[in-house]
Structure 1
């Protein structure tokens, strides 16, 4: 059965009409919603929520119309505290909760491993595959020397081997007793290496005569009629001698590499691109 009316709602409506105010006017002055003003005049307290809100809204309305605020205490439903409704929850055993936590941590560990392990393997493979090729050639400390291409398999050039034999066969002669003889025959091209370098010498028919790394202090001699094309790395450290004269390589040099051809009479010319 609904609770009997206390009459405060009727008094609110009568006082409002007597003051010439509409429901919208009261709502605007009190900054309330229209449904709240209507609920107060209808004594429909259940639409207004908790008792503290009902009492405060009712007192504000009474104060606006000049009615005693004590009328809010005479309303039983307005001062009755309603217990909050409790919603039952499903009971979860402690072991189930622990298992759920363990499963969540396991999933986290698996996802982390799937991300970290491939990155580690890729990095490890990349680091392990680095080889120091230039160190094995002995030219890593000379940035001006270009690295030659790999020498194709084949027999050692005969010219270089004969040069070494001729050097070993010559007896040591004091400098003051040595005869003044031209160091290079007119029909011979000599490469004198003052620093570490590399060389590639091809014949007139295009075959490769020699392609090798050469240490400082060594020499190579070739017949002028046999040489067709010469490429020298670190050309500034190599003297090209023909007929006892050192040839000027500035016209054949680009960066530290010199490329030139040798004619049948020993004249050097740039390689046409």
Structure 2
């Protein structure tokens, strides 16, 4: 068989062509081995035409096809050519029994992966058995199920009862009034109304007795400053909120409805319906 498949008898057209293509690309056998993952000794046998040193025809054809693809040749065509060459040679003489050499260690997964996989499988099985044991052991018996059953005469959806206020705690206050804030003068009083940091006053001057001034709804932080806060009453949304402040004291008071309501000063007389105050800067 060795004589029939030797390079002297049949030549080595496939191996020679692969070697030439490799050298033209400037590749070494190591380069081809890294690309194809074929052991270097097999590549050397292919280039020298030592086909009898390789495994069965299937391996030889596969190695040659991968080698050809790595060096830029037509892999399937080279494989078909080699198969025809080797089949013709083997038809003239009985070849040695085919054998399979041990797998290349570089292509076999490391043993640590198999060990880790086995450990994971054991842990999964143990976890499943533990879960099943706990599920069966904690299942309620018929007596527990009967105790948890709602009696037939028990109300299914009792109507919610209003919660009473805890002892010693005052009842929740009513919602603060909202609406336009209106100032009313019970006597002639000078005042200045501003909005936040805006230097321009919304109103500045004397509010005559019986006159009213409505704070603009667009004001963000309206404030009034006066020396006779007792001569001015406040109404929020038409509801009296008492006098602006104590007598004979110059002070600045926020005119936001929430701030006025939080002072808790009630019981003042309703704002009189007198003539409206002039706009700021006009009087």
| TM-score, structure 1 normalization | 0.29
Higher strand share: 1
Normalised TM-score (structure 2): 0.28
